[in-house]
Amino acid sequence: MSHYRRARFPGGYYFFTVVTWDRRPLFVEAFARRCLRHAWQVVQERRPFELVALCLLPEHLHCLWKMPEGDAGFSKRWAALKAIFTREYLRGGEPDGTRNRSRRRSKEAALWQRRFWEHQIRDERDLQRHIEYIHFNPVKHGLVAKPSEWPWSTYHRYVREGFYEDEMPMPCGENDPLEGGEP
């Protein structure tokens, strides 16, 4: 069995990528988005964290959280969020995905990939680059021509709060912040 090491910095900022099982486009469905919103609210009530940025795409999401001081327990939050979503989604009569032998043996639903990707934010520039990456992601995937056209993103909140003009500039440099390198 693999042992994964995760960054642990209480009170830190973390960028996450979470993907559905087999990249199933669950989030094109309004019901799935409602289930996710409900799960998110329950988890934030029980174990608070600040949602800095979010973009929900058809088969994955990117988000950036600020953890509370003295707390770096994001893994338990993700486990709870996925479990609550799965319970609500399946209870609503929606179909489970195709399960492999391992998932059948452990009686695990096939809605989420088991793991997630996280990156601890290092500094202000890293924070800004990841927020821009999140907001520009629907354009990168060819879903829309501009970030303002994608409804499931905190981009609109950033415009309302004056962080962006009507339209977001291209992300910092041409390099993908997740690929490393300097712009």
Q: What is the pLDDT of residues 76-128, one digit of tens each?
A: 999 999 999 988 988 887 556 555 554 445 556 657 887 899 999 999 999 99
* Cα(57)–Cα(150) distance, integer angstroms: 9
CATH architecture entry for 13-123: 2-Layer Sandwich (3.30)
Q: Are the C-beta atoms of residues 113 and 60 closer than 8 Å to each other?
A: no
pTM: 0.83
The full set of domain ranges for the chain reads 13-123
Q: Is 160 helix (H, G, I), strand (E, B) or coil?
A: helix
Least confident of 37-46, 101-110, 146-155: 101-110
Q: Are the C-beta atoms of residues 138 and 155 closer than 8 Å to each other?
A: no
With CA atoms as reference, report the closest residue to 103 among 113, 92, 91, 116.
113
